Structure 1
Amino acid sequence: MDLSDIARKLGLTETKHLVRKAAELRRLADVQFDSSVIGVGEICKAIICLEIAASRMDVVFDRQAAIKLSGMSEKAYNRSFTSMQNGIGVKNKLDIRELAIQFGCIRLIPFVQKGLSLYKDRFRTSLPPSRRASADFSRPVFTAAAFYLCAKRHKLKVDKMKLIELCGTSEPEFASVSTSMSDLCCDVFGTSKEKKDPKTVKGNRELLDALPEKRRVEDGGYSSEDDNSSAYKKRKRMDEHAYEEWKSTVLASKNQSGQKAPKQTKQARLDFMKKVPETKVQAT
């Protein structure tokens, strides 16, 4: 099917320049890699090239109609689209303001900008000096992940799959970048439900454990030493005591059975073939 026919089926206007750009992208894809290896047929490749060209020329593109025309599922199409983009080397332009307007989260703009700047600085600091200059944060997945994490922190609902689709990445890559941002910038992107740093948790636990020992009955206060123990510790001690009793009972019964075990006696052998001496019968 020709690119012009596909563009008309998708309802694209001003197809002349759009088709020319899509044809250029398709030739580039043929040179760069074999699309059949990643499971992308010729029709699907043409549709994806049209979508990439439309996004670069700011032309409205109906992705749902494209998915229907390609004959693929939405997940398979998104995966193929990402693979084609990476193969061609085309990067989507993703702006924080455009995302905020599209998702109705204007107040997130300063938080996303601050979080991205902080993440870049901390990430570069964690790299060896020789690699800091070559660190590239221009990919749209960083902007999308920062926007998603800020929305999550401020309890705003954002369509995660829509974000992944807009930035042209895959779910594993998006999850990897999000995890990296949460780890390095937990103060900006983290939420209360996320797992804390083990060192921080250990430090807080030691602090809480030290406090009861320093409390005394002063000025009407209380002493934690007056309490025997918490309910958990009591239950734990009771379980351990019950286990020790059961263990000693089992061992004692085992030793007793070993001492009183009767010796095995050998059964006498019966020989029915033994000959009985013949007796002489006297004739009367």
Structure 2
Amino acid sequence: MEKELYSKLASKMGISSARVIRQAEEYVRLSQVRCTGLGNLTATSKAVMCLELASTTIKVPMDKEYAIKLSGLNKKMYQSHLKALECLLGLESHVGLRELSVQYGCMEALKVAAQILQRYEQSLPAAQRQDLDLSKPLFTTSALHSACKCLKIKVDKKLATSSGAKKSIFDRLCVQMQKMGQDICKEAAAPLKAAVRTVQKRQKTLMESIEQVEKEDDSPSSPKQQRDDDDGEESTVQDYEAWKKKILENALKTKKTES
């Protein structure tokens, strides 16, 4: 019965390869063991998805738009379940951080995302690190999404869905990674703040020097200048005394002449 279902669906999807059908049957068997979270899918929708995954793996063309119609799901739900099934079966193509950042237009977050991944790996126990593949979409998309949040970069919502994981799992991982991203951003900002403070301090010192010079120009004269000023005042007094003496002498002469 199942073979007839696969053959019928494959025919409608434009697939005639017996190899693709056999591979799809194998994927369905594996999904029953590994993909317990997809139990809400109907047998038909799961068969359609497995046929698409098999045709993609073997590189046989098929009608993807018609596959969505056959599945009985809307496009968004179909693609979300297909991505989850692909990840759970271990068939996902590992797209690196750089490719992801280019694809979603957030290259500015690439460096921080890479640091987040590194710090996340270091936070795990050694035994867990050995079996962990951080190149999987769940980790790369979570790291890039978290980096964008920390840097306040607007990110496409499709980035989250491309993780292939349930929203609750993705969100929980993002919370952990976002904390690491905030620490990384603070550490990166510290040297810049220190440099700004140094520049501000130098500017302040320069301004203080200028103000000091201005104060000195407005302050009382130096001792030498004070002496020069005193000498000038003394000379003026002497001139006045000589003038006064001369006037008195002339007045005295005039008086003698009149008498």
The TM-score, its normalising length taken from structure 2, stands at 0.53
What are the within-5 Å matches in structure 2 for residues 94-173 of structure 1? 94-121=95-122, 123-124=123-124, 127=125, 133=130, 137-160=134-157, 162-173=158-169
SS in 1 for 2:155: coil
Using CA pairs under 8 Å that are at least 6 residues apart, name the structure with larger relative contact order, 1 or 2: 2
Kindly tell me: are residues 146 and 22 of structure 1, through their superposed partners in 2, closer, same or farther at Cα, counting changes over 3 Å? same
Aligned partners of 2:109, 2:60: CA distance in 1, in Å?
Answer: 27
- Which residue in 1 is equivalent to 2:73? 72
Structure in which a larger fraction of residues adopt helix: 2
- Which residue in 1 is equivalent to 2:177? 181
- Which residue in 2 is equivalent to 1:248? none
Specify every segment of 5 or more residues in structure 2 that has no aligned partner in the other structure, as ranges: 187-259
How far does the alpha carbon of each residue in 1:142-172 deviate from its partner, in whole angstroms, 9 at most, with x for none? 1111111222333433223x22332210100
What are the within-5 Å matches in structure 2 for residues 38-57 of structure 1? 38-53=39-54, 56=57
SS in 1 for 2:162: helix
Aligned partners of 2:131, 2:185: CA distance in 1, in Å?
Answer: 25
- The alpha-carbon deviation at position 119 of structure 1 amounts to 2.2
Aligned partners of 2:63, 2:106: CA distance in 1, in Å?
Answer: 24
Larger radius of gyration: 2
Question: Does 1:21 pair with 2:18?
Answer: no
Would you say the 8 A contact 1:146–1:181 is kept in 2?
yes
Letter in 2 for 1:22: A
How far does the alpha carbon of each residue in 1:225-256 deviate from its partner, in whole angstroms, 9 at most, with x for none? xxxxxxxxxxxxxxxxxxxxxxxxxxxxxxxx
How far does the alpha carbon of each residue in 1:72-106 deviate from its partner, in whole angstroms, 9 at most, with x for none? 24565466446645764555523212212321333
Paired residues in the alignment total 183
Aligned partners of 1:164, 1:149: CA distance in 2, in Å?
Answer: 10
Letter in 1 for 2:182: C
Would you say the 8 A contact 1:33–1:87 is kept in 2?
yes
Kindly tell me: are residues 58 and 135 of structure 1, through their superposed partners in 2, closer, same or farther at Cα, counting changes over 3 Å? same
Specify every segment of 5 or more residues in structure 1 that has no aligned partner in the other structure, as ranges: 191-284
C-alpha RMSD of matched pairs (Å): 3.9
Aligned partners of 2:151, 2:72: CA distance in 1, in Å?
Answer: 39
- The alpha-carbon deviation at position 175 of structure 1 amounts to 0.3
- Work out the percentage of aligned pairs sharing the same amino acid: 29
Would you say the 8 A contact 1:22–1:49 is kept in 2?
yes
The TM-score, its normalising length taken from structure 1, stands at 0.49
Aligned partners of 1:60, 1:165: CA distance in 2, in Å?
Answer: 25
Kindly tell me: are residues 112 and 39 of structure 1, through their superposed partners in 2, closer, same or farther at Cα, counting changes over 3 Å? same
SS in 2 for 1:44: helix
